């Protein structure tokens, strides 16, 4: 018997609940507060929700996800048997989240983490106008667009890739800065920056052209300034079957057709 205590977190779907019943019959589980490791059943969205819960409580545990959702890019294959052996043989990946600091028109300051990306999006039919700064240097005085996002390597195959951004290999120590439907500058298609960069956005005409900032799935509306940087202190730990390791998945997405 292993001395490792595991918590089972389950997405509220029929498939995940059915799988959870099977695992509870096979193994012993503890509450999250007493656990050393976490097994998450669901899709990518549920895994992100689980990881955000850990960030909020500041109790970060190694997490082994099994896909019972739609895409499951961040998940392992669902199998009922041999779970302890799989986790013992799993490859560990450390993922540092982004930290978003946003200031609203009313002066409220909001700090949120993001594992995949921070995105700025126009709130109305009016295009957004943004000033883009990297490490206190203005690199684009006026970006006219539907929005812009900053993505981590772990999130580079998600919204970032859909917006024509680059796929970043895990461990590349890079961030993707990707515009969403840019109008001006017409030829600017984004940038790849070191993950030591501090990226700032100032909203031009925030009253006329309101913009929201979204850290993964959490939105702050009517922002005037956003600062984005990697949280070097915090590291999330994801566990993967060796044959389905996250770094290989991200690399192979570059060859997907």
Query: Encoding tokens for residue 219?
Result: 């939105």
The domains of the chain, with CATH numbers, are 6-96+234-255 (3.40.50.10330), 98-230 (2.60.200.30)
Residue 20 has pLDDT above 60, yes or no: yes
Which pLDDT value is given to residue 72?
82
Which pLDDT value is given to residue 257?
67
pLDDT tens for 238-251 read 999 998 777 887 87
pLDDT tier for residue 118 given thresholds of 50, 70 and 90: very high
The tally of CA atoms less than 13 A away on the side-chain side of residue 89 is 10
Residue 100 has pLDDT above 60, yes or no: yes
Which pLDDT value is given to residue 251?
79
| Bridge partners (DSSP) listed for residue 14 | none
Which pLDDT value is given to residue 70?
84
Residue 1 has pLDDT above 60, yes or no: no
| Catalytic residue list contains 44 | yes
As a whole number of angstroms, the distance between CA 129 and CA 226 comes to 13
Residue 175 has pLDDT above 50, yes or no: yes
Which pLDDT value is given to residue 245?
73
Reduce the secondary structure of the chain to three states and give it as a string: CCCCCEEEEECCCHHHHHHHHHHHHHCCCCCHHHCCEEEEEECHHHHHHHHHHHHHHCCCCCEEEEECCCCCCCCECCCCCCHHHHHHHCEEEEECCEEEEEEECCCCEEEEEECCEEEEEECCCCCEEEEEEECCEEEEEEEEECEEEEECCCCCCCHHHHCCCCCCCCCCCEEEEEEECCCECCCCCCEEEECCCCEEEEEECCCCCCEEEEECCEEECCEEEEEEEECCCCCEEEEECHHHCHHHHHHHHHHCC
Residue 165 has pLDDT above 90, yes or no: yes
Which of 52-66, 68-82, 126-140 comes out lowest in average pLDDT? 68-82
Q: Mean pLDDT in the chain?
A: 94
Q: Are 176 and 157 in contact (CB under 8 A)?
A: no
Residues 6+ apart with CB under 8 A from 186: none
Percentage of residues in the chain having pLDDT higher than 90: 86
Residue 213 has pLDDT above 50, yes or no: yes
Which pLDDT value is given to residue 89?
95
Mean pLDDT of 127-156: 97
pLDDT tier for residue 2 given thresholds of 50, 70 and 90: low
Which pLDDT value is given to residue 153?
93
Catalytic residue among 3, 44, 136, 241: 44
């Amino acid at each position: 018997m292993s001395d490792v205590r595991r918590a089972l977190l389950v997405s509220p779907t029929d498939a995940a609940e059915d799988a959870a019943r099977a695992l509870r019959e096979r193994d012993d589980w503890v509450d999250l507060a007493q656990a050393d490791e976490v097994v998450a059943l669901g899709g990518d969205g549920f895994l992100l929700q689980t990881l955000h819960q850990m960030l909020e409580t500041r109790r970060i545990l190694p997490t082994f996800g099994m896909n019972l959702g739609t895409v499951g890019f961040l998940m392992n294959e669902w199998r009922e048997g041999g779970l302890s052996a799989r986790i013992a043989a799993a490859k560990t990946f450390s993922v540092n989240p982004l930290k978003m600091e946003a200031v609203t028109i009313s002066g409220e300051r909001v700090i949120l983490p993001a594992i995949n990306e921070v995105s700025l999006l126009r709130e109305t039919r009016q295009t957004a106008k943004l000033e883009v700064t990297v490490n206190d240097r203005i690199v684009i005085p006026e970006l006219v667009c539907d929005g812009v996002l900053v993505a981590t390597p772990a999130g580079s195959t998600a919204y970032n890739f859909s917006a024509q951004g680059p796929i970043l290999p895990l461990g590349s120590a890079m961030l993707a800065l990707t515009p969403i439907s840019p109008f001006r500058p017409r030829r600017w298609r984004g940038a790849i920056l070191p993950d030591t960069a501090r990226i700032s956005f100032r909203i031009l005409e925030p009253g006329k052209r309101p913009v929201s900032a979204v850290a993964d799935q959490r939105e702050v509306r009517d922002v005037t300034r956003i600062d984005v940087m990697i949280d070097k202190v915090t590291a999330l730990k994801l566990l993967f079957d060796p044959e389905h390791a996250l770094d290989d998945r991200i690399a192979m997405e570059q060859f997907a057709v």
